[in-house]
Chains A and B, each alone.
Chain A
Amino acid sequence: MSPGLLLSLFPIAQAGFPEPMGGATLAPYLFVSALLFVIGMVGFITRRNLIIMFLCTELMFQAAGLALVAFSRFYLEHTGQTFVIFVLTVAAAEAALALALVVLLFRKKDSLSGEEWREMQG
């Protein structure tokens, strides 16, 4: 298989913004993004393991990033992609703090269940 044929089979990456794309092309990306967000939300509600709950928030960050990049491609602007950098920053900070908290809580009760901390109300 020649490299040219391979490239024509997999036209993934192009340099820069090639051409405008229509709203109907944008819709499937937004659908996948919304789906990822809702999956993350359902996971955050249903799972009881603290680590998986925070993993689900990362899933929601990921969905937001996908929507930002899709809109950036649609409007042919780079600001959307720049914003993903800040989303990454916040995600990293959140992960560090959340995991430190998880380790702290695990040391106290020897369990990762979120429901162990029910009495921490108010």
Chain B
Amino acid sequence: MVHAGSAAGFGRQKESGRAVEQLINPFLLFLGLALGGVGLCAALPRRRVNPQVLGAVLGGLGLGIVLLALGLKNPGQLPNYNFYIFGFIAVGSALRVITHPRPVYAALYFILTILASCGLYLILSAEFMAFALVIIYAGAILITYLFVIMLATQAPSEDNLESLADYDTQARAPFVAAVTGFVLLASLTTMLFRGVGDLPTPTAPHPDALLAEMPNKASPDKIMLALDRRGELREGDQFAGLDPLAGTVTLQTIDGYRTVAIPPEVKVGNVESIGFDLLNEHPGSIEIAGVILLMAMLGATVLSRKQVEFEEEAKLRQSQALAATGQVFADKEVRP
């Protein structure tokens, strides 16, 4: 990428300006972000005039400008085109989460955001986390939210907005919040794009290097079985050694040695890598996470415990009985 003479100024300013321009034209970036901010501000819920369609169009336009400009500068390094589908669904439904006046719909749109970001995780080849996210977030946490919404919201009988509570239909300071948010986003993206273009591309570690540390997975029996299933064994072949870094299995034949590639069944997948990383590198963190979950469960139970009130008459009877006899017997009498 040659951008000689594209940036005016001198010294440090020139360098940083060029670094942002490697990825995106700053004018387009700020134009897109400003459009997005105006769209978001228009789409936030209001009582009277509510130009949500206009806001959605403006917001989508701004987001589209930034993403297109990001792609056009580096056509050789475009992300997988599924990224655009999932990214638009994720951001669009996230916008809907904060602009929809009804809490139930907001929660449902949040599930859509989660599913779309699972798609992004899949593109980023994080398969285990993608499905864990579906199970934990969309399946457990959001269902809890839905239950609480059902418990704590007065069900509006009519289908119009007038029947909704005031705190749902009127946003607090939408203009100031949108301006603040998008100024933050502009500075954040400028800094990100300034640095990201200069990051050196890391070299890939060997994909099978972990096999050397997993003696149970890469045991001779399993390797021979997998090779046998693939039909790569000849008469009299015996296991002689495994070389994960070269990606080969050495076999002892009748007249010497030969090497074959490691069968794909034995190779390390995403789930195994994450499990290995989790238990090998962060065993203490798992314990702490367990304690955090336990404390959260205890806290939630204690907080939401409801005190059952006796009726006035029962209280009176209890106090009389307490005065007359001992506490133990009074307890027995009052309880129905």
What is A's interface to B at a CB cutoff of 8 Å? 10-32, 34-36, 38-43, 45-49, 51-52, 54-56, 58-59, 62, 65-66, 69-70, 72-76, 78-79, 81-82, 84-86, 88-97, 99-104, 106-107, 111-115
Contact = CB atoms under 8 A, between A and B. Distances in A.
B106 interface: yes
Given A14-B125, A25-B79, A86 B168 contact: no
A13 B127 contact: yes
A23 B238 CA distance: 46
Contacts of B149: 51
Contact of A36 (B90, B167, B199, B306): B90
B172 A72 contact: no
Contact of B282 (A73, A82, A114): A82
Interface residues of B, number: 111
A15 to B, nearest CB: 6
User: SS class of chain A's interface: helix, strand, loop or mixed?
Assistant: helix
B107 interface: yes
A104 to B, nearest CB: 6
Contacts of B177: 42, 45-46
B82 to A, nearest CB: 6
10 contacts: A17-B125, A20-B201, A36-B94, A36-B113, A38-B185, A51-B145, A51-B148, A55-B106, A58-B110, A112-B152
Given A23-B201, A28-B87, A78-B277, A96 B297 contact: yes
A79 B90 contact: no
Interface of B: 22-24, 36, 40, 44, 63, 66-67, 70-71, 73-74, 77-80, 82-83, 87, 90-91, 94-95, 97-98, 103, 106-107, 110, 113-114, 117, 119-129, 132-133, 136-137, 140-141, 144-145, 148-149, 151-153, 165-168, 170-174, 177-178, 180-182, 184-185, 188-189, 192-193, 196-199, 201-205, 207, 267-270, 273-274, 276-278, 281-282, 285, 289, 292-293, 295-297, 299-301, 303-304, 306
Contacts of B201: 20-23
Given A55-B97, A56-B97, A56-B98, A26 B196 contact: yes
Given A26-B196, A31-B66, A34-B188, A96 B74 contact: no
Given A28-B83, A51-B103, A52-B103, A45 B173 contact: yes
A39 B40 contact: yes
Contacts, number: 297
Contacts of A85: 129, 132, 274, 278, 289
Given A36-B90, A36-B113, A112-B165, 16 more contacts: A11-B82, A12-B82, A16-B273, A17-B207, A22-B74, A23-B196, A51-B149, A69-B124, A72-B124, A82-B277, A85-B132, A85-B274, A86-B285, A88-B136, A91-B137, A113-B166
Contacts of A82: 274, 277-278, 281-282
B267 A46 contact: no
A73 B124 contact: yes
